[in-house]
Every structure is written in structure tokens, then in C-alpha cells.
Amino acid sequence: MSLSEEARLQDRLTGIRERIAIAAGKSGREPAVIRLVAATKSQPPAVLARLFSLGIQDVGENRVQEAAAKREILGSKGTWHFIGHLQKNKAHAAAHLFDWVQSIDSLDLAQAISRGATALGRSIAVLLQVNVSGEGTKFGVPPEAAQELAEEVNALPGLELRGLFTIAPYTEDPEASRPVFGGLRTLRDRIERNTGLALPVLSMGMSHDFLIAIEEGSTMVRIGTALLGPRQPRVNR
């Protein structure tokens, strides 16, 4: 990275942290409770190394092979989140590479990661991906099926169920996503009440809608372009 790129990254990070603090204040919370995951898909390893040196701990990737190549270079640094759609045949590799898998949307997938984690003697933090809007993203469990899946996933060895994850459909006006984020929060509250499970993590909010997501109770935002600029076009995939 050039010096000017590094300065720009530092500036963007400062700006995002300020905006996170304002939104947290609006929802009556301390900024420190909001975890910032840098969505680093398509970014080269040098960018992740720079983020770690700027104090960012969490990075989010959506392809197993791409993450494997980066981890080979970066070693054990950082906390790695899988935030894409995971195929079952990659579950074992994912259990090896990632500390968190946010996109659990079936018992089959959860069982496959559980087997991988158990074989490796690891514990993987997981979130259930919920398709709150019923449109937009193809993936995620419907809200009405989330409670049953939460109880099943919670019973699996090698997995620690921490909460819920959603992606709001893209809209010009992020205000339109407020009901999606509020919907995930009320679903979480209801599942906690009905089951006694603790689901403290709500992963919701990206570059264009993270302020609204935080106002609605997000505890984890996944930010790519607002922090890192436009993604590099993907070659040969």
C-alpha cells in the first residue's frame, strides 16, 4: 500500500468509528459494544495486514479458497468471519479457517461444520442467517423457522451459537431497511424469551445502511466499500 492509500484508510476508519459512535448514542448504547468487521473479500493480503496494524481485529470473507490463500500469508493474526454462502462440501475447510461462521441457514450445514470443528478440536462461533424480508437475498432461514433451528444448532458440539445475521435488500434509501433490522431484533428477543437461549449478537448493517442498523440494535456491522473503497474486480472465478 502506498502512503497516501494508508492515510486514506486511516481517515475512512476514523470517520466510520465516529459515525458508529453517533448511531450507538441514538440507541442509548456505548460505541464499544458495536463490533466492526472489515469485509475484505477481493482485497489483497497487504490490506488485511494494514487493517490489523490499525487495530481492526475482525475480517469478513465470503470465499473459502480466497480466505485460505490470505491466511497462508497472514498466519494466525485476526479473527476471521465467514459471511458468504457456504456449501456443505467446504464446511470442513471453513471450520479450519474461520473463527466465526455467520451464515448458518440449515441444520445440514450446521452439522457439517460441527463435524469439522469437532475433528479439529475447535470451537466455532456461529450465527443463524435469517431472511427477514423474504426477498432480496436468496439465502437465510425464514423467520418462522429460526427458533427451531436455533435450538438444534445450540445442541451441536463444536459450535457456539451467538446470535443472528441478516442482509437487508439493497435500497436507494437505507431508511427503507429499518423494518428489516427491527424485525431481526424482535425475532431475537422472541427466541430468547421462548427458549432461554442467549443470543447477544445481531450482525446487521453494511456500508450504506450501518447507521440505521445500529439504531435498530445491531452489535456487529460488516463494512467493505465505505472503509476500503471499491472492490477489485474478481478475475477467473
Ligand X SMILES: *Cc1c(COP(=O)(O)O)cnc(C)c1O
Q: Which residues bind ligand X (CB under 6 A)?
A: 39, 41, 62, 83-84, 167, 206-207, 222-226
Minimum CB distance to ligand X smaller for 146 or for 220: 220
Spatial CB neighbours of 159, under 8 Å, sequence gap ≥ 6: 110, 113, 114, 117, 123, 124, 125, 126, 153
> In the Cβ-directed half-sphere of 154, how many Cα atoms lie within 13 Å?
16
Supply the minimum distance, in Å, between the C-beta of residue 228 and ligand X: 8
Find the shortest distance in angstroms from Cβ 81 to ligand X. Answer: 9
Length of the chain: 237
158 vs 223, which CB is nearer to ligand X?
223
Q: How far is the CB of 104 from ligand X (least distance, A)?
A: 13
Cβ–Cβ < 8 Å for 127, 100? yes
For residues 146 and 206, which CB has a smaller minimum distance to ligand X in the complex? 206
Distance of alpha carbon 206 from alpha carbon 188, whole angstroms: 19
Nearest Cα to Cα of residue 91 among 129, 58, 82: 82
Q: Which is nearer to ligand X, 191 or 206 (CB)?
A: 206
Residue 151, Cβ density class (10 Å: 0-12 exposed, 13-18 middle, ≥19 buried): middle
Residues 6+ positions from 216 with CB-CB distance below 8 Å: 27, 178, 181, 182, 184, 185, 204
β-partners of residue 129 are 165
Residue nearest to ligand X as judged by C-beta position: 224
Cell, residue 231: 472492490
State the nearest-atom distance from the C-beta of 155 to ligand X, in Å: 26
Nearer Cβ to ligand X (86/117): 86
CB of 44 to ligand X, least distance (A): 16
Find the shortest distance in angstroms from Cβ 157 to ligand X.
26
In the bound state with ligand X, the residue whose beta carbon lies nearer, of 78 and 84, is: 84
